[in-house]
Structure 1
């Protein structure tokens, strides 16, 4: 699944090569069918794994307060490290542009996962006393995903970094998490 997730991030869902994934995982191409009924089942499991391994997990960490979870999540999500990763990170910036071409089950998975992220952010904002936690969560999550997409598209490193920094500052300020 790790090899598959890497290929999805590098090539997209339509250009994933099953033979290469199986080879990267040290398995035979025939072994694929022992685990999955079809390429669609395989892609579904891969995208589910991408979400399970994403920075989204920071928001659900019971050892972090809502304030700390949000702060850590925003800081990482809008970092050069997250922008530059091709092995982990949130699958939404990778898959959003492909969404119109994905089969309905994968589109539904993306939609459900985005909604879960917004709901958890909203619950944290509610605990922190925000007057419109659902609206703020929706707006800021969309802004964060868009900033990562745009920063990855920007070839000039300083402009790319500025997109992330400006968005990080704006989101932290709106969430009341900006320190000094």
Structure 2
């Protein structure tokens, strides 16, 4: 049976989203093509109709992760003002849900420690995605009147990524929750924000 270009693109997206979840959960070097294809509901033999190698899949999946992260930023914050949008992003990022479900979380937190061991194309895809997230945050900070918004955006992202990474490393749940809470409140104070949500 022959399929049109639209079907092929939809199938590719299924593979990419399955690969993105696997990479965020287990790391790029542990991802197996057979497992990704199985998760996408496809046979291993169909892989090469979409990607020439596992490395090419990883590069494309990294780009997909950042596309999804930016789409989530827009979806979650639709209809909100800039201050509420920024507070909502911090609340969502530094939440127990994000900590406990890395397979659906931020690609920066999932991949930063592994990235030096990946190839140059993967590092470029990550750098481009990171710049896109930083730009979205910078634009929001600039509209809120913060000076040197690009540098501030880079610093805020570094704090977010570092805090969620440390919270995931902490085996004591109460300590982990406290770390997330203290990081949220430090960022609220620094950026003159009020929390958009309540946390347990």
TM-score between the two structures when normalised by the length of structure 2: 0.82
SS of the residue 2:112 aligns to? helix
Worse-matched range after superposition: 52-61 or 7-16? 52-61
SS of the residue 2:114 aligns to? helix
1:111-126 alignment runs, 5 A limit: 111-126=127-142
CA distance in 1, matches of 2:70, 2:97: 12
1:68-87 alignment runs, 5 A limit: 68-87=84-103
Cα contact 1:75–1:168 (8 A) shared by 2: yes
User: What is aligned with 2:46?
Assistant: 31
Give the Å deviation of 1:150: 0.4
Answer yes or no: is 1:3 the counterpart of 2:9: no
Cα contact 1:22–1:32 (8 A) shared by 2: yes
SS of the residue 2:103 aligns to? coil
Cα contact 2:23–2:103 (8 A) shared by 1: no
Among 46, 52, 58, which residue is 2:73 paired with? 58
Cα contact 1:56–1:90 (8 A) shared by 2: no
Larger gyration radius, structure 1 or structure 2: 2
Among 58, 81, 85, which residue is 1:43 paired with? 58
Give unpaired runs (5+ residues) of structure 1.
none
Structure 1 pair 93–171 and aligned structure 2 pair: CA distance change class (3 A):
same
Cα contact 2:82–2:143 (8 A) shared by 1: yes
Provide, for residues 56-107 of structure 1, a one-character-per-residue CA deviation record: whole Å limited to 9, x for no partner. 7315856332222211111100111111113311111110001111111111
CA distance in 2, matches of 1:91, 1:133: 22
Give unpaired runs (5+ residues) of structure 2.
1-15, 196-200
Cα contact 1:55–1:90 (8 A) shared by 2: no
User: What is aligned with 1:169?
Assistant: 185
SS of the residue 2:156 aligns to? helix
